[in-house]
Each structure stands twice: as structure tokens, then as C-alpha cells.
Amino acid sequence: MTDSDVSMNQPRGDTVWRTDMQPALDMNLMAQVVEKANLLKAWRRVKSNKGAPGSDGMSLEDFPAYARDHWPTIRQSLLDGSYCPQPVRRVVIPKPGGRGERLLGVPTVFP
């Protein structure tokens, strides 16, 4: 018997299922995302991982000044839903032992 077997699933109509759904992001969660402490934590993690520039070409050294100058605008666009991220830079990384390759997406810092 599999998980998709009808006898294993509770009978529920589409209407009930849809009303139980919650939005992926609500304003409270987005407010937490854009908090200064969260931004600093993310920055420290990128810096400790020696993050590479994305398709925007922004280096780790350039980021602090850019963030100081542009953060209020970026924060507002995140909160009002108008933020549109740029495409990621694709990088191919060889797997250990020559067992193929792994794709990695390197995001941009900001548009």
C-alpha cells in the first residue's frame, strides 16, 4: 500500500483543502526577514563562506557601502512586494572523486 492509496488519505474536498492553506509569506514574516539583525546574520554567513559575486558582479568588499546607501529603498520594495530579483549566475562544481558535476546558483546581492 502506498501513501497515495485512497484508503490511506482522508477524504477532503478542494474547498476544505484550500481554506486550510496559509500564505507562504505574511507581512509579519517579511518584517522579520528585513530586520537589521537578520540582514547582519545573513551577511556574516556569506562573508564566512567567502561568497562569490553573482551576475551583478558585486564583491564582498563592495557590499557594505552599497547596502548602507541603498538599504532603505530595497527594504521598502521587499515589504511592498515590488522587489524583483535578478537571475542567478550558474556555476558547475565537480563532485568529489570525479563522479559528475553539481550545479550551483549564485544569487545577486541586489538589483
Say if residue 72's pLDDT is above 90: yes
Say if residue 103's pLDDT is above 60: yes
Nearest-5° angle of CA 74, CA 63, CA 54? 85
Q: Which cell numbers hold the place of 61?
A: 568588499
pLDDT score for 51: 78
Beta bridge partners of 103: 92
Region 44-70: mean pLDDT is: 86
CA 78 vs. chain centroid, Å, equals 12
The overall pTM is greater than 0.75: no
Question: Please, are residues 92 and 79 in contact by the beta-carbon 8 Å criterion?
Answer: no
Q: How confident is the model at residue 14 (pLDDT cuts 50, 70, 90)?
A: low
Query: Within 13 A of 62's CA, how many CA atoms are on the CB side?
Result: 11
Say if residue 19's pLDDT is above 60: no
Say if residue 101's pLDDT is above 80: yes
Q: How far apart are CA 74 and CA 71, in angstroms?
A: 5
Domain-by-domain residue ranges, the chain?
22-106
